[in-house]
Amino acid sequence: MHSPARLRRPAFFRGVLPRHLCAVTACLLIFAGPARAGIDPVKYKVLRLQAELHELQGDWDKACLVYETILRLDRALPEIQERYQSALRRAWQVQRHTDYAYRKEVLSLDYAQSLRLYTMIRDTLLDNALDKRKADPGQLLRKGLDELDKALALPIFVQQYLADAKPAQIRVFRELLKKTWTAAEKISAPNALKSVRELGLAAQNLLQLSPSVVFMELACGACYAIDEYTLYLTPTQLRELCDSLRGEASEDNPAPRLPSVAFQMKSEHVGYIQIGRFQDSTVQEVDEALGALNKDGMKTLILDLRGNHGGLFESAIDVARRFLATGVIASTQYSDPKYNAVYQARNPGAVAVPLVVLIDGGTASAAEVLAGAIKDNKRGRLIGQTTFGKGCTQCILKLPPAPGGVPTGGMRLTVARFFSPLGQPYSGRGILPHVAIECDPSAFAGPFDTQLDAAMIEMERFLQGRAQP
C-alpha cells in the first residue's frame, strides 16, 4: 500500500497530515454509481420526468437514485451525468446542514479559525490535484461561489441560518454575489483569498450570515472543482466512513470480517468464484477457493465480478497475479511523477485453467483493474455489460482539530489515476465485454441469470473442444 505521507501540503500542515490519515484507506477505491448499456427511449423519458419531479420537490436523494438507474442503462449521456452530479451535491449539501454535530462543531469556529480551515482545504487541493488545469485558485473560487449560491436557494439552509432575512434580501445578495465576486479566468491565490475574506464580511453585514458558514460552502465547492470523487467530509461523515472501513475492532474485541469471496462447482468440471469486494482478506480467500475447486476437479473457471464496487487496489493487483504468469496488470499516475508505478505479474505458478469473467455496470474501480488485466493480457473472455469506468483512487484525510480540540472533519481526496495494461484510462470509458449480454442484477446466480448461462455455455464448448475461451 502506498504511503499516505506522499501527499504534499502547505507548511502549516507539515507534521500534522501523516498521522491524521486513515492508513487503511490510503488506496481505497470508492464506487459512486452504475454504468452503461442501452436504453429504450420511452423508458428514458419516463425516468427523466421522475428525476426532474424529485428535483422540483427538493428530494435530491430520490433524484439521484433515478439518475443512477438511467446511467446503469446508458452511461454515455453527458447531460444525465451532469444532472446526477448536481443532484448528488445538493443531497450532500442537505445532509451536512441537517447534521447537528457539523453545525455545532465546524460552524462554531470564529472568523479567523474558519478562514484558516478554508485555506487549509484549498491549499491541499491545489498541492495534490492530479489535473493542475482544474486546480487553479480561480477555478476553486468559482466552484465555491456556485456552491454558496445553491445553498442560498436551499430551504434547509435558509431555515437554519437566514430565518430573519427577507427573500428580497437573499435575492439581492445572490445578485451581488454573481456581479462582485465572480472569479476571473486567472486569479492569484492571494487575490482569491482576499475575495473570500471580503465575501465573508459582506454576508455577515448584509444577511447576518456567519462567515464560518460562507467559508465552508466555498470549501465544499472547491473540492468539486477537482473531480467527482473529491469532497469535504463532516466530522460525522468522517467517523462513519472510517468505522465502516476499520470497524470498532480492538485487541480485546476484534470486529468480525465478512467474507468477500464465494465459490462452488457449477458442473463436474466448471468452477465458479464470486468476489463481492476487495479487502485485505480477499487474496487469502481466493487462494482457499482455488485450492478447494482444484480438489473438486475444476478444469475451467468462471470469475464473477458483477456488482463488485471496488475496494483495496493492492488486493486486486495480488488477485490478478493469481491468474497471470507474466504481463502488465496496471499502471498508476500521481501528481508527483516519481511515485508513478507499473504493476507486473511474475508468477510461473499462476492458475492456468481457461477463464471467463462476468462483468456489469456495477463492476468498478479495483474490480476493473482485475477485469482489465485479464482482458488486455488475453487471459480470458469477458461476458456481460460495460463496466462503470472509474479509474482513480482516493485517500481519507482527517483535518486537524481547531483550538480546544473541536473536530473539523476531513476530505476524500483523489491521489492517483490508474490505467489498463495497454495504457488506456478506465474513467469515463469502462471495459467492454467480449460478449455483451444484459441481465437484471436481481437475477445474479438465480434461475434466469442469462450472463452466467452464457458463461456456462462458453465453458462447456471449451470442454467439448469446440471453442477457446
∠ Cα 402 408 412 (to 5°): 140
- Boundary-marking domain end, from 232, 253, 270: 232
Residue 382 in domain: yes
Residue 453 in domain: yes
Paired residues of 344 in beta bridges: 328
**Residues 273, 211 share a domain:** no
- Report how far residue 54's alpha carbon sits from residue 52's, in angstroms, rounded to the nearest whole number: 5
Residue 51: phi and psi, rounded to 5, are: -65, -45
**Residues 367, 285 share a domain:** yes
Residue 40: the pLDDT is 84
**Residues 277, 228 share a domain:** no
- In the chain, the amino acid numbered 80 is I
**Residues 277, 203 share a domain:** no
Mean of the per-residue pLDDT values of the chain: 87
- In the chain, the amino acid numbered 445 is A
How many domains does the structure of the chain reveal? 2
Residue 27: the pLDDT is 36
**Residues 277, 180 share a domain:** no
**Residues 293, 221 share a domain:** no
Whole-prediction pTM value?
Answer: 0.83
Residue 250: the pLDDT is 40
- Report how far residue 147's alpha carbon sits from residue 20's, in angstroms, rounded to the nearest whole number: 27
Write the CB contacts of 254 (distance below 8 Å, at least 6 apart in sequence): none
**Residues 368, 300 share a domain:** yes
Paired residues of 465 in beta bridges: none
- Which tops the pLDDT comparison, 264 or 335? 264
Note the pLDDT tens digit of each residue in 379-425: 999 999 889 889 998 899 999 999 999 999 999 999 999 999 999 99
Residue 326 in domain: yes
**Residues 271, 163 share a domain:** no
Residue 13 has pLDDT above 70, yes or no: no
Residue 148 has pLDDT above 80, yes or no: yes
Q: Which of 172, 169, 199 is nearest to 183 (CA)?
A: 199
SS3 (DSSP) at 119:
helix
Give 468's pLDDT tier (boundaries 50, 70, 90). Answer: low
The grid coordinates of residue 96 equal: 451536512
Residue 466: the pLDDT is 61
Residue 43 in domain: yes
Residue 23 in domain: no
The grid coordinates of residue 66 equal: 433515478
Residue 198 in domain: yes
The grid coordinates of residue 336 equal: 508527483
Give 256's pLDDT tier (boundaries 50, 70, 90). Answer: low
**Residues 195, 61 share a domain:** yes
The half-sphere exposure of 57 on its side-chain side, counting CA atoms within 13 A, is: 11
Average pLDDT over residues 202-226: 97
Cα 342 to Cα 148, 313, 410, 418: the distances in Å are 41, 13, 30, 10
**Residues 380, 277 share a domain:** yes
Residue 402 in domain: no
Average pLDDT over residues 173-196: 87
Residue 12: the pLDDT is 32
Residue 219 in domain: yes
Q: Which of 409, 418, 413 is nearest to 389 (CA)?
A: 418
Q: Kindly give the interhelix angle for 78-97 and 60-73, rounded to the nearest 10 degrees.
A: 150
Q: Which domain holds residue 135?
A: 37-232
**Residues 265, 329 share a domain:** yes
Residue 441: the pLDDT is 62
- Report how far residue 164's alpha carbon sits from residue 148's, in angstroms, rounded to the nearest whole number: 18
- Widest Cα–Cα separation across the chain: 80
Average pLDDT over residues 352-363: 94
Residue 336: the pLDDT is 86
Residue 71 has pLDDT above 50, yes or no: yes
**Residues 99, 217 share a domain:** yes
- Report how far residue 163's alpha carbon sits from residue 157's, in angstroms, rounded to the nearest whole number: 9
Supply the CATH number for residue 283's domain: 3.90.226.10
